[in-house]
Structure 1
Amino acid sequence: MKILVTGGAGFIGSAVVRHIITSTPDSVINVDKLTYAGNVESLAAVSKDPRYAFVKADICDKAAINAIFAEHQPDAVMHLAAESHVDRSITGPADFIETNIVGTYVLLEAARAYWQNLDAARKSAFRFHHISTDEVYGDLPHPDEVKGGAPLPLFTEKTSYAPSSPYSASKASSDHLVRAWLRTYGFPTIVTNCSNNYGPYHFPEKLIPLVILNALEGKPLPVYGKGDQIRDWLYVEDHARALYTVVTQGKVGETYNIGGHNEKQNLQVVETICDLLDELVPKDDSYHRQITYVKDRPGHDRRYAIDAEKISKELNWKPVETFESGIRKTVHWYLENSQWVKNVKSGAYQAWIKQNYSERQP
């Protein structure tokens, strides 16, 4: 297959591209705008492979996206391009509305027009896989809110949407658009909703890389509120395998929730990182002493947790990494890849992009 991946220079997208090129016979057209979180250095291992092609383009640019479909003739789309940082969505929601909603609409229309003109066999095999988040579901009861030892509920594919932040609301909107294009036009879509990802090549503003790098630099390790917010953590390479499984084996019209079976309080995550750094990069004081509690952010969801039984039963996917094995791999990666971190944090990387990558012109 030839798969068009949007946002393939981002954290999850680059893991998907690396997986496809290194572990399958398929080829990739990577379409990415290369915003602050897009990084072609994350694709160095596959960038010279003849099955990999990169196009710098904005998914909101209708003419550019139409031209990409016409030129590259993909067999499937994996749509990961999105603004994804909750804190940024609170202070600047406009970018999230534009990219996540308008961009998804533009991509859907371009893909539908292309799909309608395929021959019968290729039209039947074509898939549009939309990658979303568990945050569209809102939040779940926290253990301290459940009395009498009742089992804690999980997000299933049938859970009603109740997004809390501008980010999650924009992703919920895009999910609805994708499903509407299936029902209205018969366009062959699949949706996946995942839990919190972590692993190598994660942009430093997110919790786990932020804690690792702040700890190494002797800076405070910020924890919102009491740090009792619970997330289900999914190692990014496990997620990449799941996404490829869905686009190649999933059924049109279905939704698949993808989780890591690793519910952890944010404070537990920070403390685990501190324990690993105390072991791997010891210093006079424990890294635990750098933990700092800060005011909770507005509308902060208390608990997310995915029920991934459907994808396990129907597509035979399960995560390989436990949280303990995945977080150790992640900490090791950041310790061994300081130049990647330096290039991202210094801003030099963005200047290099401007010199070396021009926007696609139709």
Structure 2
Amino acid sequence: MGLLRVSRVGVVVVAAGAVLAGCAQSEDPQAKKDAGIAAAKAAAAGQAALLKTKMAAAAKVHANELGEIPVIMYHRVIDKPSTQDDRTPKQFRTELERLAREDYVPITAAEYVSGRIDIPAGRHPVVLTFDDSSPSQFDLDGMGVPKPGTAVAILQDVAKAHPGFRPVATFYVTRDMFGKTSPEEQTEMLAWLRDKGFDIGNHTRDHKSLGGKPEKQVNAEVAAGHELITKLVNTNPVTLALPYGNQPSHKDWALKGASGGVSYNYGGVFLAGYTPALSPFNKKFDPLGIPRIRSMDKTGDCVKFCSTAWLDWLKTNRDDRYTSDGDVKTVAFPKFKSPFVIKRYADRVLAY
């Protein structure tokens, strides 16, 4: 028993000596410095390898996140169009099917102006916007399902047939509110849209032109539309679509202001039509006047300036359109386009 005890003590002493020796070695300043340098070099090498991999992946899909984005403007979706802004359900479905085939992915106006464009690599964002809150755009049956033939129902149908084609859009609402008159019905409609990932934007309450109006009146019109939404669903709109596309005398009045205790501060103001919009990362992007494209076939003025014509142009000039690298945390583009990136996104740049 005594020998055994001595042996055990010896083992403990030897082990303790080894631990002490190890501690002494790990506390050596030079050793710690060398280990830190080695770790830093390994981390830098890993980052360089990761960057190289990301750049190769971006180049493979021809990523260009400084490119142009179609923001398409819709109004009524009805069987018998009576104005040039109306589309039939068939025409609307046909356009959505084309967008899906050509690798477009819908995003909301709020996502667009904030730069949260989270879509797969090689895909292109498209912003679907609906003005004036027509019942043909959205209505629900007694079970809370979008009624067949409405724009929302058609969008959901196309999304089911084309996985990855997000069923989202932005609705610029007015006091008409999809034909609903009671606050309860209006809240029901807006809450359904919000909860399904749709975006609700301000189109002013009364849809009056802001052109030529004094600042106080512009502020009052915009604030009234803002309050209309926030009182119903307690959700702040992020963007404004100008009634008739008419800008006020000072464009910034539509972007930021206050009236009657209601203030607004938007990420972007949308016009009524004309051309594709610039990337929010492009230094030429102007949040005070973002262009949209009217949905229409190639007829009359629309031979050049409406959705079919512009989608044809973007298909032909594919290097000019926005193509994602698949990473929402980076802004990827060919290196020669570097002069066009906004400086505040410099830490996200992936120039290949």
Largest Rg, 1 or 2: 2
Same-fold status (TM-score > 0.5):
no
Task: Flag the structure with more relative contact order, 1 or 2, with Cα contacts below 8 A and sequence separation at least 6.
Answer: 2
TM-score, scaled relative to structure 2: 0.29
TM-score, scaled relative to structure 1: 0.28
